[in-house]
Amino acid sequence: MAKYLLLKHYRGAPAAANDVPMDQWTPEEISAHVKYMEDFASRLEETGEFVDARALSPEGTFVRYDGEGRPPVTDGPFAETKDLIAGWMVIDVDSYERALDLAAELSAAPGAGGKPIHEWLEVRRFLTEPPTITE
């Protein structure tokens, strides 16, 4: 089994087929989308493939260390100009192909007009051990 992160980008990925931003959906469309996501996660819980999932707020700040005794340096929030990760799901599956199949199914969550979004999801495998560095 390997864990994979499925990242839902609402900005920064190729455009989805049903590319209407969520802030333009009706309350019913949002409810249908959330229900699809919950039902998908429940089904994966039954198979033991679901680990966790979370939606993220659109606000975020980049931060970095700026030296001993100095405050952190921040950049943002500038949500309108940066990639926007809307949420993520972690799955634990037998193969990369299974991860792709599940990501494709998740991509079909309904959006505006009740039609599948066909959004692009980023699939990333968790590292199982730290990389070995040789000098």
Alpha-carbon distance of 7 to 62, in angstroms, equals 18
Whether residue 117 lies inside any domain: the answer is yes
Q: Comparing 93 with 74, which gets the higher pLDDT?
A: 93
List the CATH number of the domain containing 94. 3.30.70.1060
Domain that holds residue 26: 2-125
Tell me: the pLDDT tens digits for 82-91? 667 889 999 9
Count how many domains the chain has.
1
CB 93 within 8 A of CB 102: yes
Tell me: the pLDDT tens digits for 97-132? 999 999 999 999 999 999 999 988 999 999 987 767
Whether residue 134 lies inside any domain: the answer is no
Alpha-carbon distance of 75 to 52, in angstroms, equals 29
| This prediction's pTM | 0.81
Confidence of residue 50 (pLDDT cuts 50, 70, 90): very high
Whether residue 36 lies inside any domain: the answer is yes
Is the torsion defined by CA of 132, 3, 37, 53 positive or negative? Answer: negative
Confidence of residue 63 (pLDDT cuts 50, 70, 90): confident
Whether residue 135 lies inside any domain: the answer is no
Residue holding tokens 């999932």? 53
